[in-house]
Structure 1
Amino acid sequence: MEQNTFNKDFLTENLKNLRHYCGFKTFEVAYFLNLSSSAYGYYESGRSTPPLEKLIKLAVLYGVTVEDLVRHPSELMAHIELERKLADIKRELNLTEEQLFLFKFIMND
């Protein structure tokens, strides 16, 4: 049986990577969360862990799930890159959501 464990290092690295990837400054994310920059900085440094309500807001900000925030950083960034490429394909080919779903299904086969 697989045991799910929380890896705080994954979360801190993902928070930094996502912020950089999206082009946000620390103070911008802190403002979004209604925190001081130093309080948010504690999340990225691993000195404190965001409560669930802040994790949910971060997931919304970055367009990922809360589960994504704690997955292995290389897996998360690969997932984000794939989703970005699929969004580009959808836009270029003017696909509907249903067509994109079929496209993903075919690609996974």
Structure 2
Amino acid sequence: MISERLKSLREERNFLQKDVAKYLNISTSAYGYYEQGKRNPDTETINKIADLYQVSTDYLLGRTNNRNSHMGKETSLDYYNPNYLQYNELDKKIRNSLVIEGIVSEDKPVSKDMLEKVFKYGIDAAVEIKNIIIFNKIMV
């Protein structure tokens, strides 16, 4: 399972095997063996790969299909979350932005689902920007 995920994640970002190998400080052939399923990366390498692709190690290992399960409770808009007040402030800012942009009207409630999608897409955009920065560092 990890070999398939490694290849898929790399191809999604248009990275070459040599780019990822350089980031991991291993040979291109060693990384190629990971993608072919001939070798398995050690724990430290799995953690580096998860950081590179901004996915959980559980996702890499095939234990979940949720790429961002490492974000679970910390990003949930849940009253019982210790960071609820911060999210409550974020919720207000997002709602105000949606009203200002004309996406929703001020008198209509914004669903929790919509707020979570806005938050998720914002995170996804930030991750994409980070990947571009990492890729540019690799290519230097």
Q: Is structure 2 residue 116 aligned with structure 1 residue 104?
A: yes
Q: How far apart are 1:47 and its partner, in Å?
A: 0.5
Query: May I ask how many residue pairs the two structures share in their alignment?
Result: 77
Per-residue CA distance 1:24-44 (angstroms, 9 max, x = gap)? 000000000111100110000
RMSD of equivalent CA atoms: 2.6
Query: In 2, Cα distance between the equivalents of 1:18 and 1:55?
Result: 13
| Matched residue SS, 2:39 | coil
Equivalent residue, structure 1, for 2:4: 13
2:38 to 28, 35, 47: 47
Q: Which runs of structure 2 are paired with 1:19-98 in the superposition (5 Å)?
A: 19-71=10-62, 75-76=65-66, 79=67, 98=90
Q: How far apart are 1:104 and its partner, in Å?
A: 2.2
Q: Which amino acid aligns with 1:41?
A: G
Q: Any gaps of 5 or more consecutive residues in structure 1?
A: 1-9, 81-95
Per-residue CA distance 1:6-60 (angstroms, 9 max, x = gap)? xxxx110000000000110000000001111001100000000000000000000
Q: Any gaps of 5 or more consecutive residues in structure 2?
A: 69-85, 95-111, 118-140
More helix by share: 1
Runs of 4+ in structure 1 off by over 4 angstroms are none
Considering Cα pairs closer than 8 Å and 6+ residues apart, tell me whether 1 or 2 has the greater RCO: 1
Query: In 1, Cα distance between the equivalents of 2:62 and 2:45?
Result: 17
